[in-house]
């Protein structure tokens, strides 16, 4: 599997910094606190060297006490500064993640239906969960470790050079080898962690698909095959993780080996110089302390590198998602139509395809008068739903244009289109929250009086009053508290509150029992009165009730007229009606 290497690290860091540009002061404060903590720690061995050489070695108790007091002050300073830095970095990380989550979710809500048609929901869930969590892990733990240890590494290097340049130079020779090892590790581990991010998205997508379709899996007794498909994806994920494990398995032992070699160098050359009187014992002790602090940051940085690589790969994927432009968006000069429209809809030479060169709607010309009810019929795949969604501007045609009251729909703001042309899907979707929230979803400022008015118009006011909390009743996730018919009636009341000029209806009664269907039909009659209606029809009854019927086949309009006219004059429509009458199709 080819893994996207992602943008160069510098560009990724600069973009990540731009996203959090309002956090500069907090970043400066946390950096100052971290520097203070690091400097306090680095001065500790100097105090110890003074205590040993000028105190213990000559029996000066006063120097010992002063050195101890200085060391204690440095220790307390380090503690409080490190505490402040830890909290400040955690605050920065959480604030940054809050901005990132909001930005990604807001962008997802703007992306077009074509994007969701080609992108698996599990991959998007992975972006908002696993990838965000990877960034969060680094922000909460890795960032503090990274800053602290980089400063410590630089400070220890400077301190060792100041204490004894000769031994420091001998130890620093090991750095050349360590840098080479780190470079190889970075190259290998970087690819490995990007592959892990790719594979976990596939795992989540396959998992979600299997759980969502479990009824179908069990109905056809395909449990073993479905588990095998998941097992194959899971195996790829396992191999991706093992690649990272192999990188870690050789790198960390190599760093530990170099650390022990450094101790050997200091003990051998430093010990000989102490015996020769060329180096004080306190200086040797301080060098050993610095040496431990020299390699420990490198080990810590190597460990945090795992988090950093994972976070970098996650940020790369999140930024790629943010870089996905909506195929449908407001034009620079988009206009907002206020007031009530007549509801005239015109399609002029409209063609559209989900894939380049493969049209599913081709050269459609159609005039729909204000207040007219049109039924779009045809076999599965004829282009019925696509044509209706073009009217709603879920997609933009590749050729031709869609006019709403004489305005090219692409010249209108999306918000304006949503006020004047809406979709009522086959299943009424409700969001988790109260009944009031769902009724007023498209008009958040609607008063309770207006909500009760539309409930009465749709005929559900008595039912709503019978609920224990009335408008404050919780509908639960996806409206699970209510039946399919009740959800559809709420959706119709929600649409009526918007008061649109054009309604696209995806056979809203197709999956209801006869009694509930009758209630919904009465509510629909109220909703559609005086409005232009485009009905994606799956049943004979819907076609019979329409003013005109549009029959589609292979993306083209092959028949247009009233139901009676087409029964008499269109053989394809006549065959479809006979199929409906036999009950083969609903």
What's the pLDDT at 107? 79
| Residue 44: both structure tokens together | 């500790």
Cα–Cα distance measured from residue 5 to residue 447, given in angstroms and rounded to the nearest whole number: 53
Q: What phi and psi, each to the nearest 5 degrees, are found at residue 400?
A: 80, -170
Nearest of 534, 523, 525 to residue 501 by alpha carbon: 534
Low-confidence ranges of the chain (pLDDT < 70): 1-13, 16-17, 19-20, 22, 24, 117-118, 120-122, 140-143, 186, 190, 197, 219-221, 299, 302-303, 306, 426-428, 476-481, 507-517, 520, 583-586
Pick the CATH number of 9-322 from 3.90.1140.10, 3.40.220.10, 1.20.1560.10, 2.60.120.10: 1.20.1560.10
Strand order in the sheet with 532-536: 421-424, 502-505, 532-536, 373-377, 548-553, 556-561
Cα–Cα distance measured from residue 352 to residue 99, given in angstroms and rounded to the nearest whole number: 36
Q: How many Cβ atoms sit within 10 Å of the Cβ of residue 358? A: 8
Question: What sign has the CA pseudo-torsion 262, 268, 272, 275?
Answer: positive
Cα–Cα distance measured from residue 536 to residue 378, given in angstroms and rounded to the nearest whole number: 9
Nearest of 324, 309, 307, 310 to residue 103 by alpha carbon: 324
SS3 at position 422: strand
Q: How far is CA 79 from CA 41, 87, 90, 145, 491, in A?
A: 9, 12, 16, 15, 59
CB 418 within 8 Å of CB 392: no
Q: What phi and psi, each to the nearest 5 degrees, are found at residue 434?
A: -90, 165
Following DSSP, what letter does each residue of 407-420 receive, concatenated?
Answer: EEGGGB-HHHHHHH
Q: How many Cβ atoms sit within 10 Å of the Cβ of residue 357? A: 6
What's the pLDDT at 534? 86
| Residue 506: both structure tokens together | 């995806």
Q: What is the pLDDT of residues 86-144, one digit of tens each?
A: 788 778 777 877 887 788 788 777 777 777 766 766 677 777 777 777 777 777 666 67
Q: How many Cβ atoms sit within 10 Å of the Cβ of residue 86? A: 19
Cα–Cα distance measured from residue 93 to residue 215, given in angstroms and rounded to the nearest whole number: 42
Task: Determine if residue 363 is left, alpha or beta; phi over 0 gives left, psi from -120 to 50 gives alpha, anything else beta.
Answer: left
Pairing of strands 373-377, 532-536: parallel
Instruction: Give the 3-state DSSP-derived string for 353-402, with helices as H, strands as E and coil as C.
Output: CCECCECCEEEEEEEECCCCEEEEECCCCCCHHHHHHHHCCCCCCCEEEE
Q: How far is CA 393 from CA 113, 280, 479, in A?
A: 10, 81, 27
Partner residues linked to 399 by β-bridges = 351
Following DSSP, what letter does each residue of 55-92 receive, concatenated?
Answer: IITTT-HHHHHHHHHHHHHHHHHHHHHHHHHHHHHHHH
What's the pLDDT at 586? 42
Q: Which residue has the tokens 């409206």?
A: 479
Cα–Cα distance measured from residue 262 to residue 291, given in angstroms and rounded to the nearest whole number: 7
CB 421 within 8 Å of CB 404: yes
How far is C-alpha 317 from the chain's CA centre?
Answer: 9
DSSP annotation of 278: S
In the chain, count H helices and then E strands.
23, 10
What's the pLDDT at 479? 57
**pLDDT cut 90: percent of the chain above it:** 0
Q: What is the pLDDT of residues 155-184, one digit of tens each?
A: 878 877 887 788 777 777 777 777 777 777
Partner residues linked to 140 by β-bridges = none
What's the pLDDT at 2? 45
- Residue 343: exposed, middle, or buried by beta-carbon count in 10 A (0-12, 13-18, 19+)? buried
Q: What residue spans define the domains of the chain?
A: 9-322, 345-430+479-582
CB 136 within 8 Å of CB 238: no
Longest dimension (CA), the chain: 119
Question: What sign has the CA pseudo-torsion 315, 321, 325, 330?
Answer: negative
Look at domain 345-430+479-582 and name its CATH class: alpha beta
């Amino acid at each position: 599997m080819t893994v996207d290497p992602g943008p160069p690290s510098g560009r990724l860091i600069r973009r990540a910094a731009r996203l959090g540009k309002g956090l500069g002061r907090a970043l400066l404060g946390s950096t100052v606190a971290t520097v203070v903590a690091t400097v306090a720690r680095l001065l500790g061995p100097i105090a110890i060297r003074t205590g040993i050489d000028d105190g213990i070695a000559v029996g000066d108790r006063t120097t010992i006490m002063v050195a101890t007091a200085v060391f204690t002050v440095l220790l307390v300073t380090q503690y409080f500064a490190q505490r402040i830095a830890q909290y400040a970095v955690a605050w920065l990380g959480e604030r940054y993640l809050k901005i990132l989550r909001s930005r990604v979710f807001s962008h997802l809500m703007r992306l077009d239906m074509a994007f969701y048609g080609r992108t698996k929901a599990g991959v998007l869930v992975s972006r908002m969960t696993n990838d965000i969590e990877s960034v969060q892990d680094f922000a909460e733990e890795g960032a503090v470790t990274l800053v602290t240890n980089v400063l410590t590494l630089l400070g220890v290097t400077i301190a060792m050079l100041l204490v004894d340049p000769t031994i420091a130079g001998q130890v620093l020779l090991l750095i050349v080898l360590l840098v080479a090892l780190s470079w190889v590790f970075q190259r290998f581990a970087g690819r490995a962690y990007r592959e892990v991010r790719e594979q976990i998205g596939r795992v989540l997508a396959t998992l979600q698909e299997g759980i969502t379709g479990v009824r179908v899996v069990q109905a056809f007794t395909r449990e073993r095959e479905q588990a095998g498909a998941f097992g194959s994806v899971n195996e790829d994920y396992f191999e991706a993780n093992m690649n990272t494990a192999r990188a870690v398995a050789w790198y960390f032992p190599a760093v530990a080996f170099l650390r022990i070699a450094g101790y050997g160098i200091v003990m051998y050359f430093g010990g000989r110089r102490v015996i020769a009187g060329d180096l004080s014992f306190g200086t040797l002790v301080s060098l050993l302390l610095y040496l431990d602090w020299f390699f420990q940051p490198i080990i810590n940085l190597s460990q945090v590198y795992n988090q950093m690589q994972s976070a970098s790969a996650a940020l790369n994927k999140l930024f790629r998602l943010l870089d996905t432009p909506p195929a449908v968006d407001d034009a620079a000069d988009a206009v907002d139509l206020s007031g009530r429209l007549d509801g005239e809809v015109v399609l002029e030479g409209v063609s559209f395809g989900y894939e380049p060169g493969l049209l599913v709607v081709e050269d459609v010309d159609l005039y729909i008068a204000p207040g007219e009810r049109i039924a779009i019929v045809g076999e599965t795949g004829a282009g019925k739903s696509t044509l209706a969604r073009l009217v709603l501007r879920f997609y933009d045609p590749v050729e031709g244009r869609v006019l709403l009251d004489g305005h090219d729909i692409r010249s209108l703001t999306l918000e304006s289109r949503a006020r004047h042309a809406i979709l009522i899907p086959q299943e009424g979707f409700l969001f988790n929250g109260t009944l009031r929230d769902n009724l007023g979803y498209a008009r958040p400022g609607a008063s309770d009086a207006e909500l009760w008015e539309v409930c009465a118009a749709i005929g559900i006011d008595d039912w709503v009053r019978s609920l224990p909390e009335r408008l404050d009743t919780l509908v639960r996730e996806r409206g699970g508290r209510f039946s399919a018919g009740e959800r559809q009636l709420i959706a119709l009341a929600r649409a009526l509150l918007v008061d649109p000029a054009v309604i696209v209806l995806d056979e809203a009664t197709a999956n209801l029992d006869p009694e509930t269907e009758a209630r919904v039909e009465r509510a629909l009659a109220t909703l559609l009165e005086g409005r232009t209606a485009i009905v994606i029809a799956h049943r004979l009854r819907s076609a019979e009730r329409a003013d005109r019927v549009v029959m589609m086949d292979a993306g083209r309009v092959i028949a247009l007229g009233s139901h009676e006219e087409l029964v008499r004059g269109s053989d394809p429509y006549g065959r479809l009606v006979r199929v409906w009458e036999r009950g083969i199709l609903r």
